[in-house]
Amino acid sequence: MPLPRIAGFLKNRDVSKIQEMLRQQKEEVIRKQRELQVIERKISNRLLQLGDALSSRFDSIEMIRTEPRRIAWIRKSLSISTYLDLETSIHQLVGDQKDAVVFLGKVGVGIAKEHLEEKEYSSYDMVFLILDPEDSYEGNTDRLPEETCVSVRFCGSHREAPEYYRKLEEYMAAHGLAVSGFSREITMIDYGFTEDTSQFVTEIQIPVEADAASDCW
C-alpha cells in the first residue's frame, strides 16, 4: 500500500475507510496475480519453442499441419543481409504498443504466393509477428487458419534461405503440390538468443494444396 495512503489513514482513522482500503488493495493484488500468470504463460511458450528448436531435424522436408495462429503484419519489400535489416520493421510492429510484446523467436518474414510461384526467393514481401494468445495487441491482426504446409528447418538464418526454398519447390513438384499462400519464415534461434551462428535455427513453412494439373494425385 502506498505510504501516502497509509499516512492519510493514520491521520484520520476510521473502520469503514480501512475496509475500503483493504478491498482496493485486494483488487490490486488480484490484478497483479493475473499479470504474473500471463507472464508465466509467455515464458513457458518461449521455453517450449526453444526446446523444439534445439531438437530440430535439419534439412528434412516434412508435411505438417499448423494450428490456427493470430498475426500482426506489415506489407514491406525488403532484403535481409543482417538481423539489423529487420529492426525498422520490428519497431513498426511493436513500438507503439501499450503492453510489452515479447518478439524473440516470433518475428517472421514472408514471400507472397505469386512470387513463390515465380520462384523469386531473393527478397521478402511482408514482415509479421506471431502473437501469443495472451498478447494484447492494438492494431490490425489476421488469424491464419489451420493449414497443411511443407516445412524445413536448417542451421542458419535468412541469408541461407533461398537454397531451402528451392528444395521445397522441388519437393512440391515431386509430390503434386501447389502453393496456397505466402511463406512463413522464422528464425527460431537467432541473434536475439545467441551470437553463436552455429546455433541458429530457421524454419520455412509454405502452405500447400493438391495441384489440379498434377498427375501425382
CA separation for the pair 197, 3 (Å, rounded):
50
pLDDT of residue 212: 67
Q: Which 3 state secondary structure label does DSSP give 122? A: coil
Chain position carrying cell 524473440: 104
The model's pTM is 0.82
* Per-residue pLDDT tens listing for the chain (217 residues): 677 777 776 777 777 777 888 888 899 999 999 989 988 988 888 899 889 999 999 999 999 999 999 998 888 888 887 666 777 777 777 766 666 555 667 889 999 999 999 999 989 999 998 988 877 787 788 999 999 999 999 999 898 999 999 999 999 999 999 999 999 999 898 887 888 888 999 999 999 998 766 665 5
The beta-strand segments (E) located in 24-146 are: 62-66, 69-78, 107-110, 124-131, 142-144
pLDDT of residue 41: 87
pLDDT of residue 43: 87
